Amino acid sequence: MGIRDKGLEIRLDAVQRRFGERIVIDGLTTRFDAGEFITIVGRSGCGKSTLLRLLAGLDAAQGGQLDADGRPLKEAIDDVRIMYQDARLLPWRSVVNNVALGLAGKRDTVRALALEALSQVGLVDRADEWPGNLSGGQRQRVALARALVHRPRLLLLDEPLGALDALTRIEMHRLIERIWREHRFTAVLVTHDVSEAVVLADRILLIEDGRIVLDQSVELARPRARGDAAFARLEGQVLDRLLTVRTLEQRNQIRGRVSAIRTGDVLAEVEVEITDHEGRRDKVISTLTLRNLREHALEVGSEVLTVFKPNDVALALVDVDDNTATPLRTGERAVA
Protein backbone atom coordinates (compact mmCIF):
# COMPACT_ATOMS: atom_id res chain seq x y z
CA MET A 1 0.00 0.00 0.00
CA GLY A 2 1.67 3.21 -1.17
CA ILE A 3 1.28 6.73 0.13
CA ARG A 4 -1.33 7.24 -2.61
CA ASP A 5 -3.70 4.90 -0.83
CA LYS A 6 -3.57 6.60 2.54
CA GLY A 7 -6.27 8.97 3.71
CA LEU A 8 -5.78 12.70 3.43
CA GLU A 9 -4.97 14.69 6.52
CA ILE A 10 -7.20 17.74 6.57
CA ARG A 11 -6.64 20.98 8.42
CA LEU A 12 -9.17 23.77 8.62
CA ASP A 13 -7.96 27.08 9.93
CA ALA A 14 -10.43 29.88 10.69
CA VAL A 15 -12.61 28.91 7.73
CA GLN A 16 -15.47 31.27 7.02
CA ARG A 17 -18.42 31.19 4.63
CA ARG A 18 -21.13 33.85 4.36
CA PHE A 19 -24.30 34.00 2.31
CA GLY A 20 -24.99 37.71 2.11
CA GLU A 21 -25.13 38.99 5.68
CA ARG A 22 -25.57 35.55 7.16
CA ILE A 23 -22.46 33.85 8.49
CA VAL A 24 -22.88 30.12 7.97
CA ILE A 25 -19.39 28.90 8.83
CA ASP A 26 -17.82 31.11 11.44
CA GLY A 27 -14.07 30.84 11.86
CA LEU A 28 -14.01 27.06 12.03
CA THR A 29 -10.74 25.45 13.03
CA THR A 30 -10.13 21.73 13.34
CA ARG A 31 -8.04 18.87 12.06
CA PHE A 32 -8.99 15.46 10.65
CA ASP A 33 -6.25 12.84 10.91
CA ALA A 34 -5.45 10.64 7.94
CA GLY A 35 -7.87 7.72 7.88
CA GLU A 36 -10.05 9.13 10.63
CA PHE A 37 -13.85 8.72 10.51
CA ILE A 38 -15.45 12.04 11.43
CA THR A 39 -19.17 12.56 11.81
CA ILE A 40 -20.69 15.98 11.95
CA VAL A 41 -24.03 16.42 13.67
CA GLY A 42 -26.15 19.48 14.20
CA ARG A 43 -29.62 20.85 13.73
CA SER A 44 -30.73 21.66 10.22
CA GLY A 45 -29.32 24.98 9.06
CA CYS A 46 -26.33 24.82 11.40
CA GLY A 47 -23.88 24.90 8.49
CA LYS A 48 -22.86 21.23 8.42
CA SER A 49 -23.74 20.67 4.76
CA THR A 50 -22.06 23.94 3.81
CA LEU A 51 -18.89 22.73 5.50
CA LEU A 52 -19.04 19.53 3.46
CA ARG A 53 -19.48 21.49 0.23
CA LEU A 54 -16.41 23.54 1.12
CA LEU A 55 -14.42 20.33 1.64
CA ALA A 56 -15.70 19.00 -1.72
CA GLY A 57 -14.61 22.15 -3.53
CA LEU A 58 -18.21 22.77 -4.65
CA ASP A 59 -18.20 26.04 -2.78
CA ALA A 60 -15.37 28.43 -1.93
CA ALA A 61 -14.53 29.67 1.55
CA GLN A 62 -14.33 33.42 1.99
CA GLY A 63 -11.74 33.35 4.69
CA GLY A 64 -9.30 30.98 6.34
CA GLN A 65 -7.40 28.05 5.01
CA LEU A 66 -8.27 24.47 3.98
CA ASP A 67 -5.25 22.20 3.68
CA ALA A 68 -4.78 18.57 2.74
CA ASP A 69 -1.47 16.92 3.61
CA GLY A 70 0.07 20.37 4.07
CA ARG A 71 -0.93 21.64 0.62
CA PRO A 72 -4.04 23.64 -0.27
CA LEU A 73 -7.03 21.29 -0.47
CA LYS A 74 -7.78 22.55 -4.00
CA GLU A 75 -4.69 20.79 -5.34
CA ALA A 76 -5.85 17.46 -3.93
CA ILE A 77 -9.43 17.80 -5.12
CA ASP A 78 -9.11 14.79 -7.45
CA ASP A 79 -8.63 12.65 -4.36
CA VAL A 80 -11.91 13.86 -2.88
CA ARG A 81 -15.26 12.27 -3.70
CA ILE A 82 -18.69 13.06 -2.36
CA MET A 83 -21.88 11.05 -1.83
CA TYR A 84 -25.07 13.10 -1.81
CA GLN A 85 -28.39 12.78 0.00
CA ASP A 86 -29.87 11.40 -3.21
CA ALA A 87 -27.82 8.96 -5.27
CA ARG A 88 -27.69 11.26 -8.35
CA LEU A 89 -27.21 8.39 -10.79
CA LEU A 90 -27.55 9.18 -14.48
CA PRO A 91 -30.82 7.43 -15.42
CA TRP A 92 -29.69 6.94 -19.05
CA ARG A 93 -26.61 4.94 -18.11
CA SER A 94 -26.57 1.37 -16.94
CA VAL A 95 -25.45 0.73 -13.38
CA VAL A 96 -21.93 -0.27 -14.39
CA ASN A 97 -21.54 2.77 -16.66
CA ASN A 98 -22.68 5.03 -13.84
CA VAL A 99 -19.93 3.61 -11.68
CA ALA A 100 -17.46 4.17 -14.53
CA LEU A 101 -18.36 7.86 -14.81
CA GLY A 102 -15.27 10.02 -15.15
CA LEU A 103 -12.86 7.08 -15.45
CA ALA A 104 -10.42 7.38 -18.31
CA GLY A 105 -8.85 4.48 -20.14
CA LYS A 106 -9.67 1.52 -22.36
CA ARG A 107 -13.25 0.34 -22.36
CA ASP A 108 -12.42 -3.10 -20.98
CA THR A 109 -10.19 -1.82 -18.20
CA VAL A 110 -12.76 0.77 -17.17
CA ARG A 111 -15.52 -1.83 -17.09
CA ALA A 112 -13.38 -4.21 -15.06
CA LEU A 113 -12.65 -1.48 -12.50
CA ALA A 114 -16.33 -0.55 -12.29
CA LEU A 115 -17.37 -4.18 -11.86
CA GLU A 116 -14.82 -4.62 -9.10
CA ALA A 117 -16.23 -1.61 -7.25
CA LEU A 118 -19.75 -2.95 -7.74
CA SER A 119 -18.77 -6.30 -6.29
CA GLN A 120 -17.54 -4.51 -3.16
CA VAL A 121 -21.04 -3.15 -2.58
CA GLY A 122 -22.61 -6.49 -3.56
CA LEU A 123 -24.36 -5.33 -6.71
CA VAL A 124 -22.30 -6.90 -9.46
CA ASP A 125 -25.29 -8.95 -10.62
CA ARG A 126 -27.25 -5.75 -11.35
CA ALA A 127 -24.44 -4.20 -13.42
CA ASP A 128 -26.32 -3.98 -16.71
CA GLU A 129 -29.67 -2.76 -15.41
CA TRP A 130 -31.01 0.79 -15.48
CA PRO A 131 -30.79 2.71 -12.19
CA GLY A 132 -34.56 3.19 -12.40
CA ASN A 133 -35.03 -0.49 -11.56
CA LEU A 134 -33.11 -0.30 -8.28
CA SER A 135 -34.40 0.42 -4.78
CA GLY A 136 -33.27 3.52 -2.85
CA GLY A 137 -30.72 1.55 -0.84
CA GLN A 138 -29.31 -0.11 -3.93
CA ARG A 139 -28.94 3.25 -5.65
CA GLN A 140 -26.94 4.59 -2.73
CA ARG A 141 -24.74 1.49 -2.90
CA VAL A 142 -24.12 2.21 -6.60
CA ALA A 143 -23.27 5.80 -5.67
CA LEU A 144 -20.83 4.46 -3.08
CA ALA A 145 -19.23 2.21 -5.70
CA ARG A 146 -18.99 5.19 -8.07
CA ALA A 147 -17.09 7.11 -5.38
CA LEU A 148 -14.87 4.15 -4.47
CA VAL A 149 -13.77 3.41 -8.02
CA HIS A 150 -11.71 6.62 -7.95
CA ARG A 151 -9.86 5.41 -4.84
CA PRO A 152 -10.66 8.60 -2.92
CA ARG A 153 -8.41 9.62 -0.05
CA LEU A 154 -11.17 11.77 1.42
CA LEU A 155 -14.75 10.54 1.16
CA LEU A 156 -17.50 13.01 2.02
CA LEU A 157 -20.94 11.70 2.87
CA ASP A 158 -23.75 14.27 2.92
CA GLU A 159 -26.57 12.50 4.80
CA PRO A 160 -26.54 9.72 2.21
CA LEU A 161 -28.73 7.44 4.31
CA GLY A 162 -31.38 10.00 5.29
CA ALA A 163 -34.02 8.66 2.92
CA LEU A 164 -33.54 4.97 3.65
CA ASP A 165 -35.57 2.74 5.95
CA ALA A 166 -34.14 1.67 9.30
CA LEU A 167 -33.04 -1.82 8.25
CA THR A 168 -31.35 -0.65 5.07
CA ARG A 169 -29.56 2.04 7.08
CA ILE A 170 -28.09 -0.54 9.43
CA GLU A 171 -26.91 -2.60 6.45
CA MET A 172 -25.38 0.51 4.91
CA HIS A 173 -23.60 1.37 8.19
CA ARG A 174 -21.94 -2.04 8.13
CA LEU A 175 -21.05 -1.71 4.47
CA ILE A 176 -19.57 1.77 4.86
CA GLU A 177 -17.60 0.73 7.94
CA ARG A 178 -16.21 -2.36 6.23
CA ILE A 179 -15.18 -0.45 3.12
CA TRP A 180 -13.65 2.35 5.18
CA ARG A 181 -11.57 -0.18 7.15
CA GLU A 182 -10.37 -1.79 3.92
CA HIS A 183 -9.47 1.42 2.10
CA ARG A 184 -8.36 3.58 5.06
CA PHE A 185 -9.54 6.83 3.48
CA THR A 186 -10.49 9.79 5.64
CA ALA A 187 -14.27 9.92 5.93
CA VAL A 188 -16.50 12.85 6.85
CA LEU A 189 -20.15 11.98 7.38
CA VAL A 190 -22.79 14.63 7.91
CA THR A 191 -25.90 13.34 9.64
CA HIS A 192 -28.71 14.42 11.91
CA ASP A 193 -28.99 10.92 13.36
CA VAL A 194 -26.93 10.80 16.54
CA SER A 195 -26.99 7.02 16.78
CA GLU A 196 -25.61 6.79 13.23
CA ALA A 197 -22.83 9.14 14.31
CA VAL A 198 -21.97 7.01 17.33
CA VAL A 199 -21.98 3.78 15.29
CA LEU A 200 -19.49 5.06 12.73
CA ALA A 201 -17.38 7.85 14.15
CA ASP A 202 -13.91 8.05 15.58
CA ARG A 203 -14.84 11.59 16.45
CA ILE A 204 -18.17 13.37 16.61
CA LEU A 205 -18.24 17.09 15.92
CA LEU A 206 -21.33 19.03 16.93
CA ILE A 207 -21.83 22.23 14.98
CA GLU A 208 -24.02 25.06 16.13
CA ASP A 209 -24.28 28.37 14.29
CA GLY A 210 -21.26 27.60 12.15
CA ARG A 211 -18.93 26.66 15.01
CA ILE A 212 -17.80 23.45 16.60
CA VAL A 213 -19.32 23.33 20.07
CA LEU A 214 -18.52 19.71 20.88
CA ASP A 215 -15.59 17.58 19.81
CA GLN A 216 -16.22 14.11 21.21
CA SER A 217 -13.96 11.18 20.45
CA VAL A 218 -15.61 7.77 20.43
CA GLU A 219 -13.45 5.06 21.97
CA LEU A 220 -15.91 2.16 21.63
CA ALA A 221 -14.62 -1.01 19.96
CA ARG A 222 -15.83 -1.76 16.44
CA PRO A 223 -18.19 -3.10 15.24
CA ARG A 224 -20.35 -1.27 17.74
CA ALA A 225 -23.49 -2.71 19.30
CA ARG A 226 -26.36 -0.31 19.65
CA GLY A 227 -27.75 -2.03 22.74
CA ASP A 228 -24.48 -1.56 24.61
CA ALA A 229 -24.59 0.59 27.80
CA ALA A 230 -21.55 2.67 26.87
CA PHE A 231 -23.04 3.25 23.43
CA ALA A 232 -26.34 4.42 24.89
CA ARG A 233 -24.61 6.70 27.38
CA LEU A 234 -22.57 8.40 24.68
CA GLU A 235 -25.58 8.73 22.41
CA GLY A 236 -27.52 10.30 25.29
CA GLN A 237 -24.71 12.76 26.00
CA VAL A 238 -24.50 13.95 22.43
CA LEU A 239 -28.29 14.18 22.12
CA ASP A 240 -28.52 16.22 25.32
CA ARG A 241 -25.85 18.54 24.10
CA LEU A 242 -27.67 18.87 20.77
CA LEU A 243 -30.89 19.86 22.54
CA THR A 244 -29.23 22.34 24.83
CA VAL A 245 -28.88 25.85 23.59
CA ARG A 246 -25.60 27.47 24.39
CA THR A 247 -26.14 30.50 26.53
CA LEU A 248 -23.08 32.64 26.08
CA GLU A 249 -21.45 34.42 23.18
CA GLN A 250 -24.27 33.91 20.72
CA ARG A 251 -25.16 36.65 18.29
CA ASN A 252 -28.80 35.76 17.89
CA GLN A 253 -29.65 35.17 21.54
CA ILE A 254 -30.46 37.63 24.30
CA ARG A 255 -31.29 36.97 27.92
CA GLY A 256 -34.42 38.45 29.38
CA ARG A 257 -37.05 38.22 32.07
CA VAL A 258 -40.71 37.29 31.54
CA SER A 259 -42.77 40.42 32.15
CA ALA A 260 -46.25 39.11 31.30
CA ILE A 261 -48.03 35.94 30.21
CA ARG A 262 -51.34 36.30 28.38
CA THR A 263 -53.30 33.11 27.86
CA GLY A 264 -56.09 32.47 25.39
CA ASP A 265 -58.03 29.24 24.86
CA VAL A 266 -55.29 27.56 22.84
CA LEU A 267 -52.25 29.82 22.64
CA ALA A 268 -50.25 31.76 25.12
CA GLU A 269 -48.27 34.93 24.53
CA VAL A 270 -45.18 35.37 26.62
CA GLU A 271 -43.85 38.90 26.85
CA VAL A 272 -40.16 39.11 27.63
CA GLU A 273 -38.35 42.21 28.73
CA ILE A 274 -34.83 42.35 27.46
CA THR A 275 -31.98 44.43 28.77
CA ASP A 276 -28.70 44.61 26.90
CA HIS A 277 -25.34 45.23 28.52
CA GLU A 278 -25.70 49.00 28.16
CA GLY A 279 -28.96 48.92 30.05
CA ARG A 280 -31.24 49.58 27.05
CA ARG A 281 -34.60 47.88 27.31
CA ASP A 282 -36.90 46.29 24.79
CA LYS A 283 -39.82 43.90 24.71
CA VAL A 284 -40.37 40.82 22.58
CA ILE A 285 -43.36 38.47 22.37
CA SER A 286 -43.16 34.74 21.74
CA THR A 287 -46.20 32.57 21.07
CA LEU A 288 -46.52 28.99 22.23
CA THR A 289 -49.34 26.59 22.85
CA LEU A 290 -51.04 26.56 26.22
CA ARG A 291 -50.18 22.88 26.59
CA ASN A 292 -46.52 23.60 26.00
CA LEU A 293 -46.62 26.43 28.52
CA ARG A 294 -48.03 24.17 31.25
CA GLU A 295 -45.18 21.71 30.80
CA HIS A 296 -42.60 24.27 31.85
CA ALA A 297 -42.07 26.25 35.00
CA LEU A 298 -42.50 29.52 33.18
CA GLU A 299 -43.91 32.41 35.22
CA VAL A 300 -43.62 36.15 35.39
CA GLY A 301 -40.10 36.92 36.54
CA SER A 302 -38.49 33.71 35.16
CA GLU A 303 -35.17 34.20 33.51
CA VAL A 304 -35.29 33.10 29.86
CA LEU A 305 -33.14 33.12 26.80
CA THR A 306 -34.78 34.44 23.64
CA VAL A 307 -33.49 32.90 20.45
CA PHE A 308 -34.15 34.80 17.25
CA LYS A 309 -34.71 32.60 14.23
CA PRO A 310 -35.56 33.76 10.72
CA ASN A 311 -39.30 33.26 11.24
CA ASP A 312 -39.66 32.69 14.91
CA VAL A 313 -38.76 33.81 18.39
CA ALA A 314 -38.04 30.80 20.58
CA LEU A 315 -37.62 30.77 24.33
CA ALA A 316 -35.35 28.68 26.51
CA LEU A 317 -35.48 28.42 30.29
CA VAL A 318 -32.16 29.37 31.85
CA ASP A 319 -30.65 27.21 34.55
CA VAL A 320 -28.72 29.84 36.50
CA ASP A 321 -26.43 27.28 38.18
CA ASP A 322 -24.63 25.84 35.18
CA ASN A 323 -25.47 28.55 32.70
CA THR A 324 -27.30 26.34 30.22
CA ALA A 325 -30.81 26.64 28.85
CA THR A 326 -33.51 24.13 27.88
CA PRO A 327 -35.57 25.18 24.88
CA LEU A 328 -39.34 25.37 25.01
CA ARG A 329 -40.40 23.58 21.88
CA THR A 330 -42.11 26.47 20.15
CA GLY A 331 -40.52 25.54 16.89
CA GLU A 332 -42.40 22.26 16.76
CA ARG A 333 -45.78 23.72 16.08
CA ALA A 334 -46.50 21.08 13.46
CA VAL A 335 -46.76 18.45 16.17
CA ALA A 336 -50.34 18.35 17.46
Partner 1 sequence: MHETAISWQRTAISWQRLKTGIRQRLRGHGALPWLVPVLILTVWQVTVQAGWLSTRILPAPWAVVAAGWELLLSGELLEHLGASTARAASGFVIGGGIGFFFGLINGGYRLAENLFDTTLQMVRNVPHLALIPLVILWFGIGEEGKLFLVALGVFFPIYLNTFHGIRSVSPDLIEMGRSYGLRGWALFRQVILPGALPNILVGVRYALGFTWLTLIVAETISATSGIGYMAMNAREFLQTDVVVLAILLYAALGKAADMVARALERRWLRWNKSFLAA
What is the binding site for partner 1 (CB under 8 A)? 56-58, 78, 81-82, 84, 86, 88, 90-93, 101-102, 130-132, 146, 150
Q: Identify which of residues 104 and 335 has a Cβ nearer to partner 1 in the complex.
A: 104
SS3 158: strand
CB of 43 to partner 1, least distance (A): 23
Nearer to partner 1, 84 or 231 (CB): 84
Measured from the CB atom, is 146 or 246 closer to partner 1?
146
| Closer residue to partner 1 (CB): 80 or 325 | 80
CB atoms under 10 Å from CB of 216, counted, come to 17
Least separation in angstroms between CB 8 and partner 1: 16
Closer residue to partner 1, CB minimum distance, 57 or 331:
57
CB of 235 vs partner 1, minimal distance in Å: 32
Minimum gap (Å) between residue 100 Cβ and partner 1: 10
Q: Rounded distance, CA 24 to CA 123, Å?
A: 38
Q: Is the peptide bond before 223 cis (omega within 30 degrees of 0)?
A: yes
d(CA 269, CA 252): 21
Quote the least distance from Cβ 58 to partner 1, whole Å.
6
170 contacts: CB under 8 Å, gap ≥ 6: none
Measured in whole angstroms, the distance separating CA 325 from the mean position of its chain's CA atoms is: 22
Contact (CB, 8 A) for 76 and 66: no
265-271: long-range contacts (C-beta < 8 A, 24 or more apart)? 265/290, 266/290, 268/292, 268/293, 270/298, 270/304, 270/315
Task: In angstroms, give the least distance from the CB of 93 to partner 1.
Answer: 8
Minimum CB distance to partner 1, residue 59 (Å): 10
Cβ proximity to partner 1, 131 vs 256, nearer residue: 131
Return the H-helix or E-strand segment holding 231.
helix 229-243
Type of residue at 182: E
Residue 82 DSSP class: E
- What is the C-alpha to C-alpha distance for residues 85 and 96, in angstroms, rounded to an integer? 20
Task: Closer to partner 1 by CB, 59 or 269: give it.
Answer: 59
